[in-house]
Amino acid sequence: MTTLLVDERDQLFVLDEMLEIEGLCGFSKFAEHSQSEIHMVLAEAHKFAKSELYPTNVEADRNGCVYDPETQTVTFPECLHKPYEQFKEAGWLAMCDSPEVGGSGLPLTVGTAVSELFYAGSFCLYGAAQLSHAGAKVIEKYGTDEQKTLYMTRLFSGEWMGSMCLTEPDAGSDVGAIRTSAKPNDDGTYSISGTKIFITAGEHDLTENIIHMVLARVVGDPPGTKGLSLFIVPKHLADAGGTIIERNDVVCTGIEHKMGLHGLATCTMVYGDRGLCTGYLLGERGKGIEEMFVMMNEQRLLVGLEGLSFSSAAFLHAVDYASKRIQGVSVYPSKGDKTGPVAIINHPDVKRMLLTMKAHVEGGRALAYFTSYCIDRAGVARGEVAEHWRGLVDLMIPIVKAYLTGNAWEVTGMAIQCAGGYGYCSDYPFERPARDCKITAIFEGTNGIQSMDLMFRKLIGNRLENFRHLMSRFDRTIQRADEISGLKIYAEAVKEAKVGLENTVGQFLEWADGQNRLHLYAKAAPFLEAMGDVILGWLHLWQLTVAYPKLLDFIGNKTEEEAGQILRNNRNAAFYYGKVLSAKFYIGTILKRTQGKFAESTSDASPVLDVFYESFTG
């Protein structure tokens, strides 16, 4: 099947024309890089993803990971081993990290574009590798010099891999209920004892060592999240030079049999079954949650990218299939002798589905890249300006995670619908992404948790300060669009949606201080979806202000026939035409539905709060 992952031209549009990423190279932090280098990196990433990552998907899905109960080990699909070695040798994992830790120091925005591509190429391989990066980052920030030398450098290089170990059988998302314990030893180490579940890549054979980042409670420390600490727990203990000494008391007792992602093991891990599990305190005792959130924030952005990557590949495959599947007669008035069956891409309902997917993918890409851009800008700014950028990041992270992963389930389902019966069959590249993508709405805090984070911490807890900064960006884009002939109607539509968003948030702030506060728990998830809709409307309007004038440069004064010929023969013109159409479709059609979501969000009807168990079961 054709290798279709991510639209490189649209990636470059967002990076170069929308965000003007070359401007980042003007800051000393990124001064060694250039736009041409960024293009080269992205081109190499496309080449690697298409030639080495994507071909592993079918085999990894069908063969899956294998657990051996006798040795308590997990074997990853053989097809992933060679690409991982290539990935490691190329230094892709640390491309955005400081040269001081072995990285290339590229902007995170570039790394985000590469990550979207690699997730689309092989989620199973890249998803496992990125956990190593998250572990390395938290050690970089909180580790001792010895921990950095032994663990951080090997995680950044990919020589060893890592895992995040939070979830427990009786705790789930309630992190404060964690029961894994850590007993201090005389030599400064800790004896770890407990069980973690749903641990991605907790056991495998891709690397000789796995470094587990384990959240546990030191014996005697207080209950709840405040009593938790973070520990480095290696699969194999090693000396200061990295030479393996012995196996730690860390075992995998089984892997989950899942709906999707068969090539990426999800493990149950037992620590200290023999009372001999050695762990090393990372950072400060009792500060484990704060330290873990260094990993969590990075992972939530990446999980949003995971959802986007599934949507992107599903959309491009749907376009490819619809352009080749001949069925049905065109409903358009025939021209000349052109009669008979046509490709289904000519049918209006198929066009509607494809345009819906295109609008969500391109808007989602802008959302993810803009959020990474805010992180880059925060990293080069100082004082209040840096706080402004960090505030935008805090506000956007739960939306990136929840909105893009929620849309992935919709987009991959729509791609199946475009392919009809064949879309439901495993011989075609549609049903696997739908199975695989669903977990992204559950990873790193379910989307319901993200919506409550947005509602109670990022909006109400912040007293809308960061929200107002975002709205000021809306205003600038709306004003710019209003000044471009032909875009006024779209500027007005986004302005109307913005007002609806502001009114809804204002209502929530009133409820938070009154007797209707409980309503906010029921409204949080639908509201996050509505806020995501409006943010995508703003981003599409932003893209319109860039793409529409460039399209007019090609066809502005041409006849319909001349314009049609230009669009058929000039790929750049056709690209801008497609950008304009998807943005207009989103703002003029999809965004219109959001007013109903606001009406739902501000209603004080209370069925959700009033319903009880017997009401469901009769």
Q: Which residues, including other chains, have CB under 8 Å from residue 283's CB and lie 6 or more apart?
A: 141, 142, 143, 229, 230, 291
Backbone torsion region of residue 99, taken as left when φ is above 0, otherwise alpha when ψ lies between -120 and 50, otherwise beta: alpha
d(CA 438, CA 432): 10
d(CA 180, CA 459): 33
d(CA 407, CA 367): 13
d(CA 116, CA 304): 9
Structural contact between residues 501 and 534, judged by C-beta atoms closer than 8 angstroms: yes
Structural contact between residues 269 and 203, judged by C-beta atoms closer than 8 angstroms: yes
**Number of other CB atoms surrounding residue 385 within 10 Å:** 12
**pLDDT of 1:** 45
Which pair of structure tokens corresponds to residue 211? 């470094």
d(CA 248, CA 117): 36
Between CA 412 and CA 417, with CA 414 as vertex, the angle to 5 degrees is 115
Strand duo 181-184 + 161-165: pairing: unpaired
Which pair of structure tokens corresponds to residue 238? 């090693």
d(CA 413, CA 415): 5
Structural contact between residues 252 and 165, judged by C-beta atoms closer than 8 angstroms: no
**pLDDT of 507:** 94
Q: How confident is the model at residue 385 (pLDDT cuts 50, 70, 90)?
A: very high
- Tally of CA atoms within 13 A in the half-sphere of 131 that contains its CB: 27
Structural contact between residues 221 and 184, judged by C-beta atoms closer than 8 angstroms: no
Q: Which residues, including other chains, have CB under 8 Å from residue 563's CB and lie 6 or more apart?
A: 554, 555
Strand duo 210-218 + 181-184: pairing: parallel
Amino acid at 61: D
Which pLDDT tens digit goes with each residue over 52-111? 999 999 999 999 999 999 999 999 999 999 999 999 999 999 999 999 999 999 999 999
Which pLDDT tens digit goes with each residue over 396-450? 999 999 999 999 999 999 999 999 999 999 999 999 999 999 999 999 889 999 9
Which pLDDT tens digit goes with each residue over 293-330? 877 778 899 999 999 999 999 999 999 999 999 999 98
pTM score: 0.95
d(CA 250, CA 273): 8
Q: What share of the chain is helix, strand, coil (3-state, %, to 5)?
A: 65, 10, 25
Average model confidence (pLDDT) across the chain: 94
SS (H, E, C) 22-66: HHHHHCHHHCCCCHHHHHHHHHHHHHHHHHHHHHHHHHHHHHCCE
Which pair of structure tokens corresponds to residue 197? 């579940």
d(CA 120, CA 404): 14
d(CA 448, CA 528): 9
Which pLDDT tens digit goes with each residue over 24-35? 999 999 999 999
**pLDDT of 84:** 97
Q: How confident is the model at residue 526 (pLDDT cuts 50, 70, 90)?
A: very high
Which pair of structure tokens corresponds to residue 530? 């509505």
Among residues 253, 191, 254, 248, which one has the least CA distance to residue 217? 191
Which are the catalytic amino acids? 444
- Look at the block and give the residue holding tokens 């906010």: 520
Q: What separation in angstroms does the CA of 320 have from each of 355, 411, 426?
A: 14, 15, 17
Mark 199-215 as b/e (b = at least 16 C-beta within 10 Å): bbbbbbebbebbbbbbb
Between CA 41 and CA 432, with CA 443 as vertex, the angle to 5 degrees is 70
Which pLDDT tens digit goes with each residue over 445-497? 899 999 999 999 999 999 999 999 999 999 999 999 999 999 999 999 999 99
Q: How confident is the model at residue 513 (pLDDT cuts 50, 70, 90)?
A: confident
Can you spell out the DSSP letters for 210-271? EEEEEEEEETTPPSSGGGEEEEEEESEEE-TT--EEEE-SEEEEEE---SS-TTS-EEEEEE
